[in-house]
């Protein structure tokens, strides 16, 4: 057993009872290898019986040496935000559809994890975004985002108007459906759908991608990851800010959304031989004949 991973936290896909069997088989496998195993409270709710210690994510973060996340990229996004300040490394086992982040196959899970838990893995540090919504002198909400922070129109469907500042320097005003501010990890998510570039996940950069702008000259822009990005809402009948598409807050005219790099990074562990370009080629079907 690799002594670096004495205590392992297991996280399953929320509200997916059918995943309990695979997770409990993994827990049994880890215990036989000599690891102490913990299961998140939300995950335990999907198991009919659970003989392993159950804990909140915060409790896990304080003691776990590693978290193995069984689910899709959405599950891993949530866990990355929850554990980033605890500096717990993550391994993703893909039970979802696309799997840019969760790259361990369920079919080869045990053989792959056996190698990784013995020290044969590739570690990768990825930046996390920290965002706050300010109204007058009050901070309404502060939240992490691993993929992206999105300011957008809401249910009424009308364009919103906003100004963008980078490091207190005015960049532009824009009328659009919204703006995506994405980390390199999030550059293959909503930002890609909006015409943004793909950033290698280890780049020290953040990309800003307008959503359906009301001008042909609006283009994505990449800036240094240590920049402070400020979005001022000038006009909107109905607007909202989203964090990884999993948390949100309503916005009013005059609100400021401030985005910067978080203090800590997310540490992802990949199998030996992991190649980001192989992942892109497979997931985006590059080179396939139509």
Whether 147 has a pLDDT exceeding 70, the answer reads yes
H or E, element range at 31: helix 20-32
C-alpha to C-alpha distances, 273 to 113, 277, 284, nearest whole angstrom: 14, 11, 19
Question: Which of these ranges, 39-48, 83-92, 153-162, 253-262, has the smallest mean pLDDT?
Answer: 39-48
When the pLDDT of each residue in the chain is averaged and rounded to a whole number, the result is 92
pLDDT for the residue numbered 239: 96
**CA 190, CA 177: separation in Å to the nearest integer?**
13
**CA 135, CA 164: separation in Å to the nearest integer?**
16
The CATH 2.60.200.30 domain(s) of the chain lie at 129-262
**CA 219, CA 213: separation in Å to the nearest integer?**
9
Whether 2 has a pLDDT exceeding 60, the answer reads no
**Contacts by residues 132-140 (CB-CB < 8 Å, ≥ 24 positions apart):** 132/257, 132/258, 133/241, 133/249, 133/251, 133/255, 133/256, 133/257, 133/258, 134/255, 134/256, 134/257, 134/258, 135/252, 135/254, 135/255, 135/256, 136/254, 140/249, 140/255
pLDDT interval class at 18 (50, 70, 90): low
Helices 109-117, 20-32: axis angle to 10 degrees equals 40
Answer CATH for 3-119 from 3.30.70.20, 3.30.930.10, 3.40.50.300, 3.40.50.10330? 3.40.50.10330
The CATH 3.40.50.10330 domain(s) of the chain lie at 3-119
**CA 151, CA 149: separation in Å to the nearest integer?**
7
Average pLDDT over residues 200-209: 96
Active site residue 73: yes
H or E, element range at 21: helix 20-32
pLDDT for the residue numbered 49: 58
Higher pLDDT pick, 13 / 206: 206
Half-sphere exposure (Cβ direction) of 209: Cα atoms closer than 13 Å: 24
- Rounded to 5°, angle at Cα 139 from 135 and 143: 120
Its pTM stands at: 0.93
Segment 64-106, tens digit of pLDDT: 999 999 988 999 999 999 999 999 999 999 886 667 888 898 8
Whether 19 has a pLDDT exceeding 70, the answer reads no
**CA 150, CA 172: separation in Å to the nearest integer?**
17
pLDDT for the residue numbered 48: 63
| Burial label, 76 (beta-carbon count in 10 A; 0-12, 13-18, 19+) | buried
Among 116, 133, 157, 86, which residue's Cα sits nearest to residue 251? 133
Q: Which residues of 52-73 are buried (b: 16+ CB within 10 A; e: fewer)?
A: bebbebeebbeebbbbbbbbbb
Question: Which of these ranges, 32-46, 204-218, 241-255, has the smallest mean pLDDT?
Answer: 32-46
pLDDT for the residue numbered 194: 94
First and final C-alpha spacing in the chain: 47
Q: What is the CATH number of domain 129-262?
A: 2.60.200.30
pLDDT for the residue numbered 154: 87
Segment 215-264, tens digit of pLDDT: 989 999 999 999 999 999 999 999 999 999 999 999 999 999 999 999 99
pLDDT interval class at 132 (50, 70, 90): very high
The active-site residue out of 4, 28, 73, 250 is 73
Percent of the chain's residues with pLDDT above 90: 77
pLDDT for the residue numbered 17: 57
Question: Which of these ranges, 17-21, 57-61, 62-66, 204-208, has the smallest mean pLDDT?
Answer: 17-21
**CA 214, CA 58: separation in Å to the nearest integer?**
43
- Residues in the chain, how many? 290
DSSP string, 223-236: EETT--EEEEEEE-
């Amino acid at each position: 057993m690799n002594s670096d991973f004495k205590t392992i936290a297991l996280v399953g896909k929320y509200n997916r009872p059918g995943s309990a069997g695979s997770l409990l088989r993994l827990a049994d496998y880890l215990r036989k290898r000599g690891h102490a195993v913990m299961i998140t409270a939300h995950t335990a709710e999907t198991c009919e019986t659970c003989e392993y210690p159950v804990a909140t994510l915060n409790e896990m973060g304080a003691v776990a040496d590693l978290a193995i996340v069984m689910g899709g990229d959405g599950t891993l996004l949530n866990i990355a935000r929850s554990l980033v300040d605890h500096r717990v490394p993550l391994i993703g086992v893909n039970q979802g559809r696309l799997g840019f982040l969760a790259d361990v196959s369920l079919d080869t899970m045990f053989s792959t994890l056996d190698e990784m838990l013995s020290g044969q893995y590739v570690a990768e540090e990825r930046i996390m975004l920290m965002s706050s919504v300010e109204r007058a002198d009050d901070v309404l909400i502060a939240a992490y985002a691993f993929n992206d922070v999105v300011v957008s129109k809401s249910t009424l469907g009308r364009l919103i108007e906003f100004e963008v500042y980078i490091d207190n320097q005015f960049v532009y005003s824009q009328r659009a459906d919204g703006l995506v501010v994405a980390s390199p990890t999030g550059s293959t998510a909503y930002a890609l759908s909006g015409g943004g570039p793909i950033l290698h996940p280890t780049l020290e950069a953040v990309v800003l991608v307008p959503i359906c702008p009301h001008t042909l000259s609006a283009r994505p822009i990449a800036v240094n990851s240590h920049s402070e990005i400020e979005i001022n809402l000038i006009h909107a009948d109905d607007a909202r800010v989203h964090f990884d598409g999993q948390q949100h807050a309503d916005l009013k005219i005059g609100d400021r959304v401030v985005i910067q790099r978080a203090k800590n990074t997310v540490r992802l562990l990949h199998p030996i031989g992991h190649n980001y370009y192989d992942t892109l080629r497979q997931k985006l079907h590059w080179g396939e004949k139509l």
